[in-house]
């Protein structure tokens, strides 16, 4: 699965497996909020030229196999994904402000691993096995 991406001066294939959790591991990512989170993360990734290969949004955490352009550091990419999605979710769901009174939806930490030493298929299978049983209207990421 070598589908290299290009910029004006770069040819790259930088994939990372990233995991982050909701603050206090509250299980808030369900139903309507789950769908909105999925939609927001997809939009944020596209807007920042990131490509999602596989993902799983569970009740209290997110797994992603994502390609990040070399001009964006991994920490900056995670910051963009978490901060923007958090801000938009608080705007759309005021009831979240009661649970997260300081408006920090995501925990501060995240886990990341470059995928160079594991095949993409292994990562995809692992992430697919993390999914909860939710109707997904046959949505496919790339």
* pTM for the structure as a whole: 0.81
Residue ranges of domains in the chain, CATH in brackets = 9-128 (3.30.70.1290)
In angstroms, the CA 139 to CA 75 distance is: 28
Task: Please list, in sequence order, all residues whose beta carbon lies within 8 angstroms of the beta carbon of residue 76, skipping any fewer than 6 positions away.
Answer: none
* Catalytic residue (choose from 12, 26, 93, 126): 126
Q: For residue 110, indicate whether it is catalytic.
A: no
> What are the tens digits of pLDDT across the range 92-131?
999 998 888 888 999 999 999 986 667 778 878 888 887 6
Cβ atoms of residues 67 and 5 within 8 Å = yes
Task: Please list, in sequence order, all residues whose beta carbon lies within 8 angstroms of the beta carbon of residue 17, skipping any fewer than 6 positions away.
Answer: 63, 64, 65, 112, 113, 115, 123, 126, 127
> What are the tens digits of pLDDT across the range 26-61?
999 999 999 999 999 999 999 999 999 999 999 999
Bridge partners (DSSP) of residue 5 are 12
């Amino acid at each position: 699965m070598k589908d290299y991406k290009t910029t004006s001066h770069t040819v790259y294939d930088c994939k990372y497996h990233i995991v982050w959790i909701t603050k206090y591991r509250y299980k808030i990512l369900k139903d309507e909020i789950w769908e909105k989170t999925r939609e927001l993360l997809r939009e944020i990734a596209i807007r920042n030229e990131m490509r999602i290969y596989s993902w799983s949004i569970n009740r209290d955490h997110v797994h992603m196999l994502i390609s990040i352009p070399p001009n964006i550091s991994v920490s900056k990419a995670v910051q963009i994904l978490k901060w923007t999605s958090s801000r938009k979710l608080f705007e759309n769901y005021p009831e979240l402000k009661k649970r997260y009174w300081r408006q920090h939806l995501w925990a501060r930490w995240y886990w990341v691993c470059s995928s160079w030493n594991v095949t993409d298929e292994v990562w995809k299978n692992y992430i697919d096995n993390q999914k909860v049983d939710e109707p997904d209207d046959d949505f496919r990421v790339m």
